[in-house]
């Protein structure tokens, strides 16, 4: 269970986030959407332990998160691969404590999940943007994290690849990862993947809406219910005139 | 529209043509790789011809063949090899010592702002002293023998490596460090996995500069007082009025500097294979 209580973050005198509180428990995928610059990445970086909160606290299964934790996997908006390491070593970066055989098996399994089995020995410079992004995803998954944090993981992909990745993300993540916190700009992506959507506005980032998405998965983008939720979220994101933005 | 563009292009070309003049070499006479050799070979041939005709004073300007002959003589007598070995040893020991101190200190000041604030300004202040100006001090401190020469080379080698390596470490991508942190890397492991590899390209730039400087400085050190080494032979050639010996030594220096640089370049290409850059040397 991820508990966020009265969390607030300022950079100097600039209030970037909060205060906000929410809890992520049974929902598999919780998505945070909001306009650019509203503080979404700041929220994710706080949960990842990369920033320290100005106020409030973050707990994962009761333990405070005050620095990076091995039970939390993170995939960033850009792949952030080490150019000097091959794909295998990039994916296995965080598994240095593991016995070699186990590490190799875990890396192979993670690469298979993102359909990159043949590329274990490739260097990052030999990968396409989409492949690199999938390596980043594999790296976040490989340690079987308790909580997976994804910051706009598909934003840099072309629309077709992005849609394919969205459709496959739930297979890739599987049931092994109990909770996923996803950040995105993409309303359709949010509806395809999430059990719950938090709409932020800001800065400072504050919760504007907290929506449970109760549609069976896999979800069809064309269904009436899907469109209805989309209209609603657009209305929340562009309060002045939802139609215009759609 | 199209016409206007064409006209503009034409008048532009005409304007360029008016101002200058054309000097066009015939194409395809020499394969590309050989073109660089055309000028030196022509100069050498002319030089040899002029010398052979007796138009120049051989005691001042020896012909290329005389220099070549001197090189062969030095090589077969063993003189060349023994002196080259001495110079090479000085260069290598100085290079090694300079590199060692430079990487250690560069890592420290690159990584820690505290250390940088304390040490870096002093390093920059020392750098303003020309390398060769240290010669008298080093001779006073370390004597006229190997010690002072190696120290001089080490000192001159220190700066390029230090500056490049430090800036490499200091410039490490914060985003990659974050990846390291969320993957549980810290301390020495973070340094070894991310900081060091990241700054390797910078280090190699520094090492190659240092190696060039080392050959530069060894000449100075050997000219100031030595009884062996290529620089000593050079001096000897001047004292005994043998310009062909002087020129032979200059060529040996050029070849030595070039070959050590090529070796470093080859090592760097291998080590930095992962770099996503246009392949060139
Ligand atoms: N290290 C920092 N120092 C100062 N201000 C920061 C810092 N990081 C973020 N901010 C500010 O905090 C606000 C929120 O930034 P954040 O990156 O969280 O936005 P975001 O919602 O992720 O935007 P986007 O959707 O464009 O990625 C921005 O106004 C940004 O300028
Ligand atoms: Mg962001």
Q: Supply the ipTM of this predicted assembly.
A: 0.89
Query: Of A219, A213, A153, which Cα lies nearest the Cα of A28?
Result: A213
The answer to whether B182 faces chain A, any CB pair under 8 Å, is yes
The predicted-structure confidence for B80-112, as pLDDT tens digits, reads as follows: 999 999 999 999 999 999 999 999 999 889 888
Strands A29-33 and A196-201, how do they pair?
Answer: parallel
CA A55 – ligand 1 centroid, Å: 17
Q: Tell me, what's the pLDDT at B19?
A: 53
CA B79 – ligand 2 centroid, Å: 69
Counting from 1 in the atom list of ligand 1, the atom nearest the Cα of A38 is: 21
Residue segments in chain B with a per-residue pLDDT below the cut of 70: 1-21, 278-281
Q: Tell me, what's the pLDDT at A166?
A: 84
Q: Let me know: does A106 contact A96? Beta carbons within 8 Å.
A: no
Q: Tell me, what's the pLDDT at A177?
A: 84
Taking an 8 Å cut-off on Cβ atoms, the answer to whether A49 and B182 are in contact is yes
Give A190→chain B minimum CA distance, Å.
25
Q: Let me know: does A146 contact A179? Beta carbons within 8 Å.
A: yes
Query: How far is residue A215's CA from residue A223's CA, in Å, rounded to a whole number?
Result: 10
Query: What's the DSSP call for residue B194?
Result: I
Q: Tell me, what's the pLDDT at B279?
A: 56
Q: What is the dihedral of CA B27, B29, B32, B37, to 10 degrees?
A: -120
The answer to whether B98 faces chain A, any CB pair under 8 Å, is no
CA A41 – ligand 2 centroid, Å: 4
Which protein residue's CA is at the shortest distance from atom 24 of ligand 1?
A36
Taking an 8 Å cut-off on Cβ atoms, the answer to whether B182 and A80 are in contact is no
CA A37 – ligand 1 centroid, Å: 5
The predicted-structure confidence for A8-28, as pLDDT tens digits, reads as follows: 999 999 999 979 999 998 888
Task: Tell me which ligand sits closest to the C-alpha of residue B174.
Answer: 1
Residue segments in chain A with a per-residue pLDDT below the cut of 50: 241-246
Nearest residue on chain B to A48, alpha-carbon basis: B182
Q: Tell me, what's the pLDDT at B40?
A: 87
Q: Tell me, what's the pLDDT at B246?
A: 93
Taking an 8 Å cut-off on Cβ atoms, the answer to whether B275 and A83 are in contact is yes
Which protein residue's CA is at the shortest distance from atom 20 of ligand 1?
A37
Best mutation site among A8, A10, A17, A37 for ligand 1 pocket (most ligand atoms within 8 Å of CB): A37
Which protein residue's CA is at the shortest distance from atom 4 of ligand 1?
A11
Query: How far is residue B235's CA from residue B162's CA, in Å, rounded to a whole number?
Result: 32
């Amino acid at each position: 269970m991820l508990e966020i209580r009265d969390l607030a973050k300022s950079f100097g005198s600039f209030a970037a986030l909060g205060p906000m509180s929410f809890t992520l428990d049974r929902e598999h995928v919780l998505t945070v959407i909001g306009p650019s610059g509203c503080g979404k990445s700041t929220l994710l970086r706080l949960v990842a332990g990369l920033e320290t909160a100005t106020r409030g606290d973050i707990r994962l299964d009761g333990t405070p998160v005050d620095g990076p934790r091995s039970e939390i996997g993170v995939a960033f908006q850009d792949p952030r691969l080490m150019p000097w390491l091959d794909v295998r070593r990039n994916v296995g970066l965080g598994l240095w404590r593991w016995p070699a055989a186990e590490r190799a098996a875990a890396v192979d399994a993670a690469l298979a999940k993102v359909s990159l089995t043949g590329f274990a020995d490739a260097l990052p410079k030999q990968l396409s943007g989409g492949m690199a992004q999938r390596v980043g995803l594999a790296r976040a998954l490989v340690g079987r994290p308790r909580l997976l944090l994804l910051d706009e993981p598909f934003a840099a992909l072309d629309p077709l690849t992005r849609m394919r990745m969205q459709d496959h993300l739930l297979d890739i993540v599987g049931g092994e990862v109990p909770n996923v916190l996803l950040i995105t700009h993409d309303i359709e992506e949010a509806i395809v993947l999430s059990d719950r959507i938090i709409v932020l506005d800001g800065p400072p980032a504050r919760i504007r809406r907290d929506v449970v998405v109760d549609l069976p998965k896999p979800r069809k983008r064309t269904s009436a219910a899907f469109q209805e939720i989309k209209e609603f979220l657009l209305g929340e994101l562009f309060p002045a005139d939802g139609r215009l933005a759609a | 529209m199209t016409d206007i563009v064409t006209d503009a292009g034409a008048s532009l070309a005409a304007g360029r043509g008016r101002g200058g003049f054309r000097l066009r070499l015939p194409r395809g006479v020499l394969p590309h790789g050989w073109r660089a050799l055309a000028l030196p070979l022509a100069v050498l041939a002319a030089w040899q011809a002029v010398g052979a005709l007796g138009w120049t004073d051989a005691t001042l300007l020896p012909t290329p063949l005389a220099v070549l002959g001197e090189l062969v003589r030095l090589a077969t007598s063993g003189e060349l090899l023994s002196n080259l070995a001495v110079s090479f040893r000085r260069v290598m020991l100085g290079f090694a010592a300079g590199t060692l101190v430079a990487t250690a200190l560069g890592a420290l000041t690159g990584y820690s702002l505290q250390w940088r604030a304390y040490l870096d300004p002093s390093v920059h202040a020392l750098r303003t002293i020309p390398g060769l100006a240290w010669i008298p001090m080093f001779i006073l401190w370390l004597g006229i023998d190997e010690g002072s020469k190696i120290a001089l080379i080490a000192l001159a080698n220190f700066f390029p490596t230090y500056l490049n390596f430090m800036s490499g470490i200091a410039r490490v991508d914060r985003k990659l460090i974050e990846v390291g942190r969320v993957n549980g890397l810290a301390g020495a492991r973070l340094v070894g996995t991310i900081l060091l590899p990241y700054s390797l390209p910078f280090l190699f730039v520094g090492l190659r500069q240092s190696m060039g400087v080392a050959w530069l400085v060894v000449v100075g050190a050997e000219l100031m007082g030595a009884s062996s080494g290529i620089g000593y032979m050079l001096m000897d050639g001047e004292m005994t009025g043998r310009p062909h010996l002087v020129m032979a030594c200059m060529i040996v220096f050029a070849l030595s500097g070039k070959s050590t640089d090529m070796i470093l370049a080859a090592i760097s290409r291998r080590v930095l294979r992962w770099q996503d850059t246009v392949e060139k040397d």
